[in-house]
């Protein structure tokens, strides 16, 4: 057969397809993916456009579609929030539009508190659930400690928070640290609102008008941010994480507004900071102090009732 192929003209001797001799599982998988590549989704295309426009309006930089997708894997945010943003862009959450396609479950697409279609935009920014409003108020108050302007939050900024750009006063390290903090506050707050919604709709489905108290919601946000700060402190361990270790300076500049100034003086050399020092401090006490009004208001409400 090889001799027959050699005797044919050059253009006729070309054999289409993949050589079995040189084929690997990886190359075969890529070839199959190219053959069965799905076209663009309508909702995904719309959300990509919303994300790009939101970043353009807030930061005066319009990212490409590729940059938006890469931002869903931004290392400045946790894995759980990365997955949440990826699913949000694809409109793949099990809420209103998801159930609207099921004739037997169309009623589950409506918000039990508002009666409106429960889109992800509704869950994050429109629902009357008290925990939603309390969490965004708490996030804005935490950010106000930095002295920078709080963004005009919308769904596009949530989906594209991995594209936030450093701005405000200070040197390059300080700006980068505050930018990392903003990404974390926005991503963790949005994910927690969605998480509490799921708990309300699934675990407490037998109580139609159930909602979390503001104090409970704020405490959950404090838990999430404190755990994130401790995780980052732990990941600065170069002996354990080697090249994947986080820069201790970045971690300090990110969380320093929530550290006790008595523990870390402003002029303290970075070389003196150890993983144990950062990890043992955490941010809980400072976060609770900043957001103490939420707990005080809740206690007063309980006393009156």
- Which own/partner contact pairs does 198-203 have at CB distance under 8 Å and 24+ positions apart? 200/112, 200/129, 201/112
For residue 219, the model assigns a pLDDT of: 94
For residue 298, the model assigns a pLDDT of: 55
Handedness of CA 112, 124, 250, 79 (dihedral sign): positive
Whether the Cβ atoms of residue 143 and residue 185 lie closer than 8 Å to each other = yes
Query: Digits of tens for pLDDT over the chain (305 positions)?
Result: 445 555 545 555 555 677 777 788 888 888 888 877 777 788 999 999 999 999 999 999 999 999 999 999 999 999 999 999 999 999 998 887 777 776 666 667 788 888 888 999 999 999 999 999 999 999 999 999 999 999 999 999 999 999 999 988 888 988 999 999 999 999 999 999 999 999 998 898 888 788 899 999 999 999 999 999 888 888 888 888 889 988 888 888 898 888 755 444 444 444 444 444 555 556 888 888 889 876 655 544 443 33
Give this prediction's pTM. 0.81
- Nearest to 70, CA basis, from 155, 163, 158: 163
How many angstroms separate the Cα of 205 from the Cα of each of 108, 131, 201, 208?
11, 17, 5, 6
Whether the Cβ atoms of residue 242 and residue 216 lie closer than 8 Å to each other = no
Query: b or e along 104-121 (b: 16 or more beta carbons within 10 Å of the residue's beta carbon)?
Result: eeeebbbbbbeeeebbbb
For residue 106, the model assigns a pLDDT of: 62
For residue 59, the model assigns a pLDDT of: 94
For residue 209, the model assigns a pLDDT of: 82
- Nearest to 252, CA basis, from 278, 281, 276, 223: 278
For residue 14, the model assigns a pLDDT of: 56
Residue 135 neighbours by CB distance under 10 Å: 25
For residue 207, the model assigns a pLDDT of: 85
Q: Which two tokens stand for residue 125?
A: 């920014």
Phi, psi at 243, each rounded to 5°:
-70, -20
């Amino acid at each position: 057969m090889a001799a027959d192929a050699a005797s044919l003209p050059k253009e006729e001797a070309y054999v289409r397809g993949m050589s079995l001799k040189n084929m690997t599982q990886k190359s075969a998988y890529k070839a199959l993916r190219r053959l069965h590549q799905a076209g663009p989704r309508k909702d995904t295309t719309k959300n990509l456009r919303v994300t790009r426009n939101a970043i353009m309006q807030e930061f005066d930089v319009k990212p490409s579609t590729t940059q938006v997708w890469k931002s869903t894997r931004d290392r400045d945010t946790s894995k759980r929030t990365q997955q949440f943003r990826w699913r949000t862009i694809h409109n793949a959450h099990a809420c209103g539009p998801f159930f609207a396609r099921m004739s037997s479950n169309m009623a589950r697409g409506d918000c039990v508190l508002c009666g409106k279609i429960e889109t992800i935009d509704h869950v994050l920014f429109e629902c009357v659930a008290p925990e939603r409003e309390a969490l965004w108020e708490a996030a804005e108050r935490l950010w106000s400690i930095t002295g920078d302007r709080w963004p005009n939050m919308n769904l596009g900024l949530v989906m594209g928070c991995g594209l936030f750009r450093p701005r405000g006063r200070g040197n390059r390290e300080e700006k980068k640290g505050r930018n990392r903090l903003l990404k974390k506050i926005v991503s963790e707050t949005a994910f927690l609102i969605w998480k509490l919604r799921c708990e309300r709709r699934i675990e407490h489905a037998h109580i139609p008008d159930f909602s979390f108290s503001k104090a409970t919601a704020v405490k959950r946000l404090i838990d999430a941010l404190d755990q994130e700060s401790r995780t980052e402190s732990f990941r600065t361990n170069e002996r354990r994480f080697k090249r994947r270790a986080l820069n201790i300076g970045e971690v300090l500049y990110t969380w320093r507004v929530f550290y006790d100034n008595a523990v870390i003086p402003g002029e303290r050399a970075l070389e003196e900071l150890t993983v144990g020092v950062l990890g043992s401090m955490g941010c809980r006490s400072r976060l609770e102090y900043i957001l103490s009004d939420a707990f005080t208001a809740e206690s007063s409400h309980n006393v009156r009732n």
